[in-house]
Amino acid sequence: MIPTLDGPENWTKKGIDGFITTGLSKKRYNIPYEIRLLDVPEARAVVESPRVYVEFGEEIIRVSIDKENPKILDGDEKDCPGADFTEIYNFIKEHYDVLMSHWSGRIDAYEMYKELNPHRR
């Protein structure tokens, strides 16, 4: 079973695990689920590895930011009946450099959005 937070209020109002997050809209980025990224350097410092958070219903799925093989960090896809993470994995691989620049703090959320949406500059 994939770990869940207490409820949606934890990631819609406060972010994830009490930290502020930046969201990537499934509609804008043509992905099946919303993606959230930790937006505070102190938050990124307390987690073990670069990751995004995928909103799957009321659950938060942690997925590695990996150029070659992104994967679910808490269990596997069998723990998410009906989910297809192929497009999420492809999005991560395609935008790896931008996601890692944000993760490492080289760019902020605004700069990340500009890089992910070059037609909106």
Q: Is 36 left (phi over 0), alpha (psi -120 to 50) or beta?
A: beta
Q: Give the model's confidence band at 98: pLDDT under 50 very low, under 70 low, under 90 confident, else very high.
A: very high
Task: Calculate the CA 69 to chain-centre distance.
Answer: 15
pTM, two decimals, is 0.80
Q: Report yes or no: 61 and 48 within 8 Å, Cβ to Cβ.
A: no
Please give the Cα distance from 27 to 84 (Å, whole number): 16
Residue range 36-68, pLDDT digits in tens: 998 777 777 777 789 999 988 888 889 999 999
pLDDT confidence band for 95 (50 / 70 / 90): very high
pLDDT at 70: 95
